[in-house]
Structure 1
């Protein structure tokens, strides 16, 4: 079965169930994820429904490039009838189903992520008679390897000028906070020393009586 036929059937089903659906289905996905260039990306998406999953449960993943609109979206993967159908475009050989309907997990994985994959991915779930009125959007940000990874002892990481300015600003803010803490600490110590002097003087006066 061609993907175009599957998608058309899914849209017809969505139109019908939108009339009678209860809209009790809720979809959950992160607003943004960051993935290193050349690695595999997991796009997580789950849902909650008052209805049990069945053969009619369908999922449509779409991609919208940065600056684009939903009208120009690309189908990344269609899941229906218990079978995943990769899209016909550049994701066809790279996308795999990573979900489990029994756990209401409809996530996907995309291999060999590159900078052209930056954009918005939408997760749309149909579980009749429950229908999700709005798909969830995930903003995918692709970065060079190592930039967003924690640095281990003895390792080096390359940063650009903008990141360096931000780091320098953070260091300066931390320095000011430490200086302020130090000044407050010395003020407290000086006050404590003065109180001790006054107490010592009072005790000495009592001893001289």
Structure 2
């Protein structure tokens, strides 16, 4: 009788321990949709204009560097700040070294398998940083937009990688004798980044 009671108690204890372990494993494998995240990435730089052929004379010298931080509120919405240092763009002896600080809404959907396609829309404070001053003001506001795909496997517990394409769209006013012309430009970057969510 005592042996039977002892075996039953052992079975119950083993079953409870197994249930606790399984519960811990289930919690560990629960996707993390909310939280603060930081990351960094590298990409290329492309400078274009729809109405100014001179952008084709610029050659990029280096890589785009991105540092990002944000907070994901749900499967769908995150608010993201980003510092972007585009590569130096040269045309003869003249060059620009653009940088941008942006604040964007990151809108997408986080699937159970860790994939999250997304788009971003926001605003940037852009500084062209001319090597020789040719503009009255080489700083400008810009519209930031883009899209990408993020992958955050549950097993990596907060780590994520993403590939993305982002654009800063802005206008520059050229003032001449008795007239002014405004041209639209884009600074574009295709990049890869890694981030960690706390």
TM-score by length of 1: 0.26
Give the structure with the larger helix fraction: 1
Q: Which has the higher contact order (CA 8 A, sep 6+)?
A: 1
Give the structure with the larger strand fraction: 2
Greater Cα radius of gyration, structure 1 or 2: 1
